[in-house]
Structure 1
Amino acid sequence: MPQGLTHVYALVERAAANGPDHPALVDVTAGTTLTWEDLHAAAGAEAERLRAAGVTPGDRVAVVLPNGEAFGVALFGALRAGAVVVPIGPRAVARELEIILGDATPRVVVAGPGESAVAAAAAGAGAQVLPPPPSGEGAAATGPRAGSADGAREASGDGGEAIALLVYTSGTTGRPRGVRLSHRALLANRAQLASLRPSPVTPTDRVLLALPLFHVFGLAAGLLQVAWAGATVVLTERFDADAMPDLLIRQRVSAIAGVPSMYRALLDVPAEQLRAGFAGVRICTSGGAPLPPKWFAAFHDATGLDIVEGYGLSEAGPVVTSNQVGGAARPGSVGRPLPGVELCLVDAVGRPLADSRDDEDEGEEGDVADVYTDLADDTGLVAVRGPNLFSGYWPDGEGGPDAEGWFRTADVGYLDGNGDLHLVDRTSDLVIVNGFNVYPREVEQVLAELAEVAEAAVIGIPDDRTGAAVKAVVVRTPGSDLTEEQVNEHCAVRLARFKRPTTVAFVDELPRTPTGKIARRTLAEV
């Protein structure tokens, strides 16, 4: 276990001991700040509150709160009490709440006032609902101070293989599924990220997180990485591109973790304001979805900063690769595996590509490879291995790493000549036209070549003759009058016939999930 740590809460304990008066959490929306000693004390008080409500080590505690001080205290308080934290988005609909709470069966749900859907789902799951933990000085004053006898290990056990987070993700099933992340996995991934140079988070950084904390990217790669470094996290409840430059200056932000759609929205801010706002920022990271190369270039032109792109998934705690491995950001690539993480490409049954290709007949007429355009030949499913991997899905660990430690993801990619990973798509997004595979991202990249296209998303729609057809949903650049005919002409000379969109719809903006990913399931109705 990294640096002798076995329990995630020990990060707070260590930060409070090393820098008790150093700001830990700045809640911009509420206008409050907690030092690491404050946070340690408030988490101790929250742990006592949860114990009084009947929470024992191993019980689940669902946290349904927006970004802010209350989320941080609830999270670390539950961990200190030895509970398994189940983060849930505060805007989750009744169906999602019923599925997640019914599956996780938490002892307690911590939620804001007036959440009738939460209360109903909690009642159905037999869980008690508690209000958010008290704010600021009141909570801190009642909790044990840093270095007290009521330390994390004594209160919470040794951690290690015990589950710390139960993160629900729909993955390829369409139904939320609980990813069991142990203390071991989360701490291993924090150490892997911390070993990068330059480090994504240093002790002196003030890290802006507008990412939702109920998602593993914002929670683990964001908040827990800040705790690892003993740095400062600046939390906003919502992302506001227009307000961002001033916020960065006022809060002296030096690092930002975001998703591609956030950086795209920032490009609409006047260039002078954007450059001034980012003058004190040393590093910008992006994940959660592929970053279009033209957004990368436009952001660099506007701010002088490169965006460091990475790739991860809930099951890996979450970060797998980064452009920082290898020393340079490469547009279109998500980089190489972090130190301590192994990665290979496999076929549908898990065999490494080299092994599976030995069994193939070469040169057969009609081979899919003969009609591919602009993709490397060696595409396969991304498989990963490392101490940061999850312990299978809730409740019994089914679907976890195999006997040799490998986990086969649903992501399709290829490795370029430098060994950098390029993501093609997820198998769940695959469109099969007349038996041929169409990867939406390939078509989206071709559409992005048009200067009149600000953004595009591609999905499959039913077709009586071919089984499925390709539909493109396009956002025009301001002032553009791009037509469907022009899109078709562009694609006709760049894509094989079966990959070309048969339908093109134009919209003002693409629908997105709270984590910034394109909500593909709603595109068929556009």
Structure 2
Amino acid sequence: MLVPLTMADFLDRAEATAFGRTAVVDEPGQLPTTTYGELLHRIRAWQAGLDALGIGEGERVAVVGPNSARLLELLYAVPASGRICVPVNHRLAPEEIGYILRQCDASVVFTDPEAEARLGSLGGPKRFVLGEQTETQVMGFGTEPRPWSRPDENAVATLNYTSGTSARPKGVALTHRSIWLNAMTFGVHARIWEGDVYLHTLPAFHCNGWGAPFLLAGLGAKQVVLRRIDGPEILRRVREHGVTLAFGAPAVWDVVLRAARDWPGRIPGHGTMRVVCAGAPVRAELVARVEEELGWEFLQVYGLTETTLLTFNRRLPGAPRTDLTRAGAPALGVRLRTGPRGEVLARSNMVLDGYWRDERANAAAVQGGWFRTGDVGAFDERGSLALSDRVKDVIVTGGESVSSLEVEDCLLGHPAIAEAAVIGVPDERWGETVKALVVRAAGAEAAEAEIIAHCKANLARYKAPTSVEFRDSLPRTSNGKVRKAVLREPYWAGQERRIN
């Protein structure tokens, strides 16, 4: 018997087993706390509303905003009805968001009030603001939506945009099958169960919160929404709701550690809380502090938006903490190997279906049945992967990927800049930070602060350089390419790895 694996499976089980259990605790002043029965009622209202708007199966429904209960509802409702959900990074500049909406040909956009204020008069498809407008104009058409006509596990469920190495974001098409398997595989390795209380420290637009929200619904686990990262607030939520599980980049746990210095008494979650870290390489010092100062279990995973989960790393009893600085062993069902230049190659049922409408990118990314990660690494005798460098010029700062080409393009839009190169340099807080090396145009003057302000005005703020160095010239190869390895060397000298 072959039954399609779809996102509806997780909702069906929630209805059968967790109807009266607490589902989602939203931010104060937002949606009231819902049970899974109430959540499923609202999901059907969203789906009926999309029917009434004439949004057909396979059409793209974009959502722009920080974590919220309504965003989570759409992440469930849209794919489970045969449509494609496009959760967009609300931190991007309006022009970047506009490009994504055009590239995926979104039929409708739902925006958080905060994001709507930034988008202003941006053109494109019809937009609805999450809140009173969507409650009356979208969700007021009953709760009996049309069923998905032909459920297909190979249909695209979500499009998640990643900057990659190009100046334009690429839409990563993930199917119902790949998301289903990722959720279940993640659950096995992280030992997620019905009694967990999950805190959404990870933005849902980051690869659908790495896929955990789907499994959490299927298990009927309680989910607590966190709109923005705030150390004291994270500790308060852990105490108030009995949180046991959260995901995030190293920068998130740095924020919590700073807040813990002033926390009175025993740290909430001591001995019961576990955190799953990814998005940037991990320092041994961070592992030690999370375990000793917070009393939280530290787990590490490695993956990309294009691959979802690739490795999982849990420190076994008696093993040194330094083991957790490695990416870890391949997850169940994942095959990894290294290719030319030590590039990590991946193969699994969880790898992307393809880049949306970008055959050139597909041809470059998947070769001989293996996905090229762009990361350089090596395996030890136990099969555990350690990453050491990147083939591609992507800078990962605080868990966010930044395309150096995109920042360089922005810099060259400043009239005082003739040449520009952008590299990642080590940073204690963010892992890496963006550094611009620029050559001024003849006779032009521009201060560091002015150039950084120019980038912040035209890019998402996290993409802007944190420092600018002026040069008389940039080293180039014989065919004119900037020699970024030469530029990076002074900043990474003495570092064991060329990622931080």
What is the TM-score when the length of structure 1 is the normalising length? 0.71
1:58-69 superposed matches below 5 A? 58-69=58-69
1:338 paired with 2:299, answer no
Would you say how many aligned residue pairs link Structure 1 and Structure 2? Answer: 422
> In structure 2, how many angstroms separate the alpha carbons of the residues matched to 1:36 and 1:5?
23
2:488 aligned to which of 460, 465, 470: 470
Shift of 1:78: 1.8
Matches within 5 A, 1:226-245: 226-245=216-235
**Mapping for residues 26-425 of structure 1, pairs under 5 Å:** 26-29=25-28, 30=30, 32-113=32-113, 115=116, 118=119, 120-121=121-122, 123=123, 125=124, 127-132=125-130, 144=143, 154-155=147-148, 157-196=150-189, 199=191, 201-216=192-207, 218=209, 220-271=210-261, 273=264, 275-279=266-270, 281-316=272-307, 318-324=308-314, 330-347=323-340, 380-395=342-357, 399=362, 402=366, 405-425=369-389
**Per the alignment, do residues 116 and 319 of structure 1 end up closer, same or farther by CA in structure 2, a change over 3 Å counting?**
same
Asked whether the equivalents of residues 327 and 386 of structure 2 are also in contact (C-alpha less than 8 Å), the reply is: yes
Corresponding residue SS for 2:178: helix
> What CA distance in whole angstroms lies between the structure 2 residues aligned with 1:385 and 1:326?
26
| Contact 1:61 1:86 (C-alpha < 8 Å) held by counterparts | yes
Task: Deviation per CA, 1:86-143: give whole Å up to 9, x if none.
Answer: 111233312111210110111111113472654644x3x3x12123266999999986
Q: Which runs of 5+ in 2 are unaligned?
A: 396-422, 438-470, 477-482
Q: Give the counterpart letter for 1:88 in structure 2.
A: V
- Partner SS state of residue 34, structure 2: strand
Instruction: Give the distance between the partners of 2:293 and 2:335, measured in 1 at CA.
Output: 35
Letter in 1 for 2:349: P
Distance change (3 Å), C-alpha of 1:31 and 1:253:
farther
Separation of aligned partners in 2, 1:180 and 1:5: 18
Q: What secondary structure sits across from 1:107 in the alignment? A: strand
Structure 1: runs of 5+ lacking an equivalent: 349-379, 432-439, 474-487, 501-516, 519-526
- Alignment-derived partner of residue 356 in structure 1: none
> Aligned equivalents of 2:205 and 2:325: distance in 1?
27
State the partner residue of 1:23. 22
Equivalent AA in structure 2 for residue 80 of structure 1: A
SS of residue in 2 equivalent to 1:155: coil
Which residue is equivalent to 1:428? 392
Q: Could you list the per-position Cα deviations for residues 238-262 of structure 1 after superposition, in whole angstroms to 9, with x for gaps in the alignment?
A: 1110222222110111111121001
The separation in 1 between residues aligned to 2:19 and 2:430, in whole angstroms, is 47
Percent identity, aligned pairs only, is 27
Measured in 1, the distance between the counterparts of 2:86 and 2:225 equals 20
The letter for the 1-side match of 2:238 is: L
User: What CA distance in whole angstroms lies between the structure 1 residues aligned with 2:133 and 2:73?
Assistant: 9
Deviations 1:180-216 (A, max 9, x none): 00001101111212222x51x2111111112211111
- Native 8 Å contact 2:275 2:298 kept in 1: yes
Residues 140, 94 of structure 1: CA spacing in aligned structure 2 closer, same or farther, 3 A cutoff? closer
How far apart in 2 are the matches of 1:314 and 1:456?
A: 19
Give the letter aligned to residue 374 of structure 2. A
Contact 1:74 1:133 in 2 (8 A): no
Query: Offset of 1:34 from its aligned partner?
Result: 1.6
Query: Which piece of structure 1 moves more, 71-80 or 206-215?
Result: 71-80
Provide the rounded CA distance (Å) in 1 between the counterparts of 2:475 and 2:171.
38
Query: Does the residue aligned with 2:223 lie in a helix, a strand or coil?
Result: strand
Residues 301-332 of structure 1 show CA distances to partners (whole Å, capped at 9, x for unaligned) of 2023331011011111x111110397877232
For 2:354, give the aligned amino acid. G
Query: Any conservation in 2 of the 1:457–1:472 contact (CA below 8 Å)?
Result: no
**Inter-partner Cα distance in structure 1 for 2:489 and 2:367:** 40
For 2:392, what is the secondary structure of its paired residue?
Answer: helix
Instruction: Report SS of the residue matched to 2:325.
Output: coil
| C-alpha spacing 1:324/1:137, structure 2 compared with 1 (3 Å) | farther
CA distance in 1, matches of 2:332, 2:38: 34
Tell me if structure 1 keeps the 8 A contact 2:112–2:130.
yes
What is the aligned partner in structure 2 of residue 7 from structure 1?
6
* Alignment-mate amino acid for residue 126 of structure 2: Q
Which whole-Å CA distance do the structure 1 matches of 2:216 and 2:335 have between them? 25
Residues 386, 405 of structure 1: 8 Å contact kept: no
Q: 2 CA distance for matches of 1:298 and 1:103?
A: 43
| Contact 1:166/1:179 (<8 A) preserved | yes
**Equivalent residue of 2:185, what SS?**
helix
Give the conservation status (yes or no) of the 8 Å contact 1:210–1:236.
Answer: yes
Q: Tell me which amino acid in the other structure corresponds to 2:243.
A: V
Q: State the 1:156 CA deviation.
A: 5.7
TM-score, normalisation: structure 2:
0.75
RMSD across aligned positions (CA): 3.6
1:13-53 per-residue CA deviation (whole Å, 9 max, x = no partner) reads 21121110111211134262121111111111101111111
- Match of 1:319, SS state, is strand
- CA gap 1:217/1:64 in 2 versus in 1, 3 angstroms: closer
Deviation at 1:342, TM superposition (A): 0.7
